[in-house]
Chains A and B, each alone.
Chain A
Amino acid sequence: MKFEAIQQKATDLWEAFNRLDKARVLIGGATCGRAAGAMQVWHRIAEELEKRRVEADIVEVGCLGMCYSEPNVEIGLPDGRRILYQNVTEETVPELVDRFILKGDPCLEYALCSFGDVPVEGLIRFNDLQMIKPQVRVVLRNAGIIDPTNVYHYIARGGYAGLYKALRMKRLEVCETIKSSGLRGRGGAGFPTGLKWGFALASKSDLKYMICNADEGDPGAFMDRDVLESDPHAVLEGLTIGAYAIGARQAIVYVRAEYPLAIDRIRNAIDQMKGLGFSGPHVMGSDFDLEIKIKMGAGAFVCGEETALMASIEGKRGMPRPRPPFPAQAGLHGKPTNINNVETLANVSEIMNRGPEWFAAYGTEKSKGTKTFALAGKINRTGLIEVPMGITIDDIIFNIGGGIPDNKKFKAIQTGGPSGGCIPAEMSDLKVDYEELAKVGSIMGSGGMIVMDEDSCMVDVAKYFVGFTHSESCGKCVPCRMGSQHLLKMLTEITEGKGDMSYVRRLEKLSRTVQSGSLCGLGQTLPNPVMSALRYFSDEFEAHLRQKRCDALVCKGLVSSPCQYTCPINQDVPCYMGYIAQGRFDDAIRVIRIENPFPGICGRVCPHPCESKCEAGKYGDPIAIRALKRFAADYEMKQGIKPHRAEVRYDAKVAVIGSGPAGLSAAYYLTLEGYPCTVFEALPLPGGMLAVGIPEYRLPRDVLDYEIDYIRKTGVEIKTNHALGRDFTIEDLFRQGYKAVFLATGSHKALELGIEGADHPAVLPGVRFLFDVNLHKEINLGERVAVIGGGNVAIDSARSAVRLGAKDVFILYRRSREEMPALSEELEQLEEEGIKIRFLTAPKRVVSSGDGITGLECIAMELGEPDASGRRRPVPIQGSEFMIECDNVIAAIGQTSDLNFAQDEALNVTRRGTIAVDEETDLCEKEGVFAGGDAVTGPLNVVTAIFHGKLSAKGIHQYLSGHEVSRHYRPVRPAEVVAPVELTDEEIERLARPSLPRKPGQQRIRSFVEVEECLSEEQAVLEAKRCLRCDLETQFEMQ
């Protein structure tokens, strides 16, 4: 048949296909669709249609590239409406059949978009989708739209018109046409295709080969697979045109074995070509003959390299050889050969059809046309896209890709697979093309684009890629074989907490050697991920090497369990979980006390950062670590376990100023070490904020007394009513024989409200209010109490006010719920006690009359641009003032440190009003003085204060031993190996985080009785068994 006749037949068939005389179902059946369950959906649809005796066509199409929403099913009705449904499951099929196919109800809740000319109300058109609109689909022109097994669909949409034109041109003309389009090899190297063809054409030989490289081995790249499965003829037509252009009679499609569906499609398509006379003798009636064969790869990434590929076809080991001679002169079996990538060829066919100028109109000056990108990793809309060269990374990630899932922070992308480099988020305005990517140290490669977020470790990514290329190295040349081995060894050691900063220089040097000495592209590019990671993320390498930290929580060698790692004092959480699970509560509390002198307190008031990173929390509820710690502490208190007095080993006395958690922790550990320690406390009672800042319904007095007493029993002396500045100076201490001083004076000076009327005596600073509450002073409150602020002091003030009899207590917070630092469990308790919060409200003026307050003039706020902390700054809405009646105002908007003594003591103070110390050691500039806790960090929390106490204790010990005060970093590992408790299947069914018991809201506010209750022993043991014991996955050395 003549080509025009074939085209006519194709047009007729395509029109009939789209006429929709009856309902038509299109199912995306490429491998990704199948992985998502498309075939099961297909069967269900067929079943349901048969059940209802509905006649409809079900056709499998290729992939639209919207993999994130697979299985995708398009249903078209005779009324012309065509709707694409997303995430279709077997369960939703009956509904779609009943409601849309039978009744015409579009089921918008399942729909993604509409196709075709007929609009559907309430539904966006496919071409207007945010993911699709910026795309220019050349290579993907038919993907997901035609039946890939029906050649006439391809022909109807312009297929083989390019070949038809080419055969009427001289071979050289065809090469020139492709050259003028600017098409560059899409396999990765980006060599001008037309130019390469010209070389092969110029070589004289009786036999030449044209090869399609469909070995797509880059992990993260799947565009070739997609095109071959969805539109194989686009590639085969390009292959045929190329074979003609260079004068070859033999063409081979070399496709990797891991793509069975693609192989099937190609086979089928080649048969169809033969049937229509598009291959075989006299292609399209010309005197050009072409035989097309398929060769399958056998699982070697290196065979994507052209000389290795040809060796593989020849039945040899896939080892590259040096060039020259280039394949164009001597390739397969020594004959002139031209090898092109799948995507390149899919472009060729359309370029010949539409003309080179059309293609060259897209893209940048040196990178013409479009490029497919396989978008994967931490991105909302994973899938396959095709965009004009020159689009920015921002556009790809945030417009097309829909941004990062779970609002995580975008960190970097990796382009070019294992041969490419990472590009940090700061450079996301980069316009993507061959040159721009090379400039920043990456490559285009095949177009794989892996998106990484804050939870990705760049050292781990570099190690991963080198691990890959190392295992795929053919082994022929030393730089690649040995170089990759040693790069991998060093990177692995870094992720295990070994190595030092010299590794950075060694990695760089070895990378350059591997790059310049390797025989083929695999070796030459394998150091790219390492070099780009070192270039843009050297801080991560430093953190791993010097501080033994992996803050993305990825490297298991450094983060044996995320809970222990995240805890500021590195509590051995999995250890004591294991002991509780075994019922060995004595051992549990023993382990807790190694790092934490305040288990009962932390078990009640800690904000538990450990739980926020709990692995179990990723797919369910985090383990109730805080509650379990409290359980162990309560057990200890009930047993009345008492410590031994510590042995005094040194003469050097140490003075600690401040008996809050930082001061007492320092004193405790110094005493255990053997130093006589005295704590000087300004107030009449010890404990700092623990005693005067946290109300008893959260921290009962007997628990506090027990824990402070425990510390006293080890030998710590506490002198109350001794205030620095008022009663003594640091000089006095040194004169009295103290050899070192630890300053832990805290941060409890309330920040001023700073509004009109705020100096009225009835406006109470929150800290002062809580102080009075804790010391049981008499407080007179009216009925309505307004508390201003959003932190612990504000919340505790509100809850205390309610207990003192106020009937209407409310909190005014100037930001929104999301910015409020309070934990949801605290807000729940607030609500139960009848306290309301007004968000985005700030006080403007205190209205008073005589001795009393009558109200607050407030103004509504809205969120503006982020401030230095990254939180959005609240901005007042002009003209939105309103009055709130109240009798008392408690101002709890934050605290600062009272550093009156600083100047006299010649202590440096930071801009933020805290004591200046060396960040790593807490050492002050003043000789023999250390500082820590809220006085250094600003108001934070108990556990961070404990950390500083311990850090300073270590530093003081170094100082007093005559050593240099420095920080020694070690990877965080559990101290003991505790055997896990095997769970029965029945227990696994029952496992769920217990809800933490607390007394009923209205009842408990009548007094300051403790609100939260302890878990029962049964609850505690079961919850401890739920722990995934992440520590057991690591192999570690016992300390």
Chain B
Amino acid sequence: MTKELQKTLKSYGQDRDSLIPILQSVQEKFGYVSEQAVTGIASYLNISESTIYGVATFYTQFRFTRPGDHIIRVCQGTACHVRGAQRIMNEVVKHLGIKPGETTPDYKFSLERVACFGSCALSPVVVADNRVYGRMTAQKTKQVLKEME
């Protein structure tokens, strides 16, 4: 177990309630939940690795592979859908050459779809690196991606 991971774990109580907050912290610090992290958490909380995977894989927030430097999320919520979100997703898929849930081979971009960002009044919404872009079009989205390359 790395020193970083140990430090992260120590700030939480050794009870089951801490599992999800720990996973969230690990994801924030390291970008994803690695096998080593799961092993470390299992020993810290004294629960089995399979239980941890059982919980972690239930929630869409957690990634188990290294994400891209830039994380692109295209909202597929109702209001966005009604205003053409699918077109934007198609354009991003075409431009990056990956499907939602995947990462480009050079680890530059990861693509995710989210059900709703809660900015429905500004649909269609795209979130790139946690920056929320409202009133997007397929063209504008491609522009944003190009600037990040």
Contacts and interface: CB of A to CB of B under 8 A. Distances in A.
Nearest to B83: A377
Interface string A289-318: 000000111111100000000001111111
B58 A417 contact: no
A149 interface: no
Given A35-B125, A219-B115, A318-B58, A376 B24 contact: no
Interface in A593-635: 619
B81 A464 contact: yes
Contacts of B81: 464
Contact of B134 (A35, A259, A374): A35
B120 A296 contact: no
Interface in B66-80: 76-79
Interface stretch (A378-386, A742-750, A764-772): A378-386
Interface stretch (A169-177, A448-456, A942-950): A448-456
A376 B121 CA distance: 5
A377 B137 CA distance: 15
Interface stretch (B1-9, B14-22, B102-110): B14-22
B148 interface: no
A295 B24 CA distance: 11
Contact of B121 (A300, A316, A374, A417): A374
A448 B78 CA distance: 10
Contact of B119 (A32, A313, A314): A32
Contact of A382 (B120, B132, B137): B120
Interface in B83-124: 83, 90, 114-123
B17 A314 contact: yes
B14 to A, nearest CB: 12
Interface string A235-279: 000000000000000000000011110000000000000000000
A36 interface: yes
A300 B59 contact: yes
Contacts of A503: none
A217 B16 contact: no
A421 interface: no
Interface residues of A, number: 58
A378 B123 CA distance: 10
A259 to B, nearest CB: 7
Nearest to A226: B118
A220 B78 contact: yes
Contacts of A450: 78-79, 82, 120
B134 A298 contact: no
B11 interface: no
Given A298-B61, A315-B20, A316-B55, A220 B77 contact: yes
A321 to B, nearest CB: 15
Interface string B21-61: 10110000000000000000000000000000011001111
B114 to A, nearest CB: 7
Given A220-B77, A376-B78, A31 B20 contact: no
Contact of A260 (B21, B79, B116, B130): B130
B53 to A, nearest CB: 11
Contact of B116 (A219, A314, A378): A219
A34 interface: yes
B17 A258 contact: no
Contact of A376 (B54, B120, B133): B120
Contact of A383 (B76, B116, B121): B121
Given A315-B18, A468-B115, A32 B121 contact: yes
A67 interface: yes
B82 A299 contact: no
Given A35-B134, A315-B18, A376-B78, A67 B62 contact: no
Contacts of B20: 295-296, 298, 312, 315
Nearest to A465: B78
A619 B59 CA distance: 38
Interface in A619-654: 619
B82 A452 contact: yes
Nearest to B77: A219
A67 B24 contact: no
Most buried by A among B24, B61, B78, B115: B78
Interface in A360-406: 374-378, 382-384
Contacts of B120: 219-222, 374, 376-377, 382, 448, 450
A373 B15 CA distance: 40
Contacts of B24: 257, 296, 298
A414 B118 CA distance: 16
Contacts of A378: 82
A831 interface: no
B39 to A, nearest CB: 17
A216 interface: yes
A910 B16 CA distance: 77
A68 interface: yes
Given A36-B135, A219-B120, A298-B59, A315 B17 contact: yes
B115 to A, nearest CB: 5
Nearest to A379: B121
Interface in A203-237: 216-222, 225
A301 B77 CA distance: 12
A315 B24 CA distance: 12
Contacts of B133: 35
Contacts of A382: 79, 120-123
Nearest to A256: B118
Interface string B122-147: 11010000101111010100000000
Contact of B132 (A34, A295, A314, A619): A34
A32 B122 contact: yes
B134 to A, nearest CB: 4
Given A36-B134, A222-B118, A377-B83, A317 B78 contact: no
A598 B115 CA distance: 49
A274 B89 CA distance: 45
A319 B125 CA distance: 29
A1033 interface: yes
Nearest to B125: A35
A70 interface: yes
A218 B90 CA distance: 24
A733 B116 CA distance: 67
Nearest to B122: A35
Nearest to B62: A298
B105 to A, nearest CB: 23
B132 A300 contact: no
A377 B82 contact: yes
Contacts of B90: 1033
Interface in A795-851: none
Contact of A221 (B19, B61, B118): B118
B129 to A, nearest CB: 12
A916 B146 CA distance: 60
B16 A314 contact: yes
Interface string A35-70: 110000000000000000000000000000001101
A721 B101 CA distance: 71
A1033 B125 CA distance: 22
Most chain-A Cβ atoms within 10 A of its Cβ — which of B16, B77, B90, B118? B118
Contact of A217 (B17, B23, B82, B116): B116
Interface string A1026-1038: 0000000100000
Nearest to B139: A619
Given A225-B118, A316-B55, 12 more contacts: A67-B121, A68-B121, A220-B78, A298-B60, A299-B60, A313-B17, A315-B18, A374-B120, A383-B121, A414-B78, A450-B82, A471-B115
Q: Which 5 A-B pairs have the closest CB atoms?
A: A67-B121, A219-B77, A298-B59, A315-B19, A219-B116
Interface of A: 31-32, 34-36, 67-68, 70, 216-222, 225, 257-260, 295-301, 312-319, 374-378, 382-384, 414, 417, 448, 450, 452, 456, 461, 464-465, 468, 471-472, 474, 619, 1033
11 contacts: A35-B133, A36-B122, A36-B135, A67-B121, A219-B116, A257-B24, A314-B17, A315-B19, A382-B122, A450-B79, A461-B78
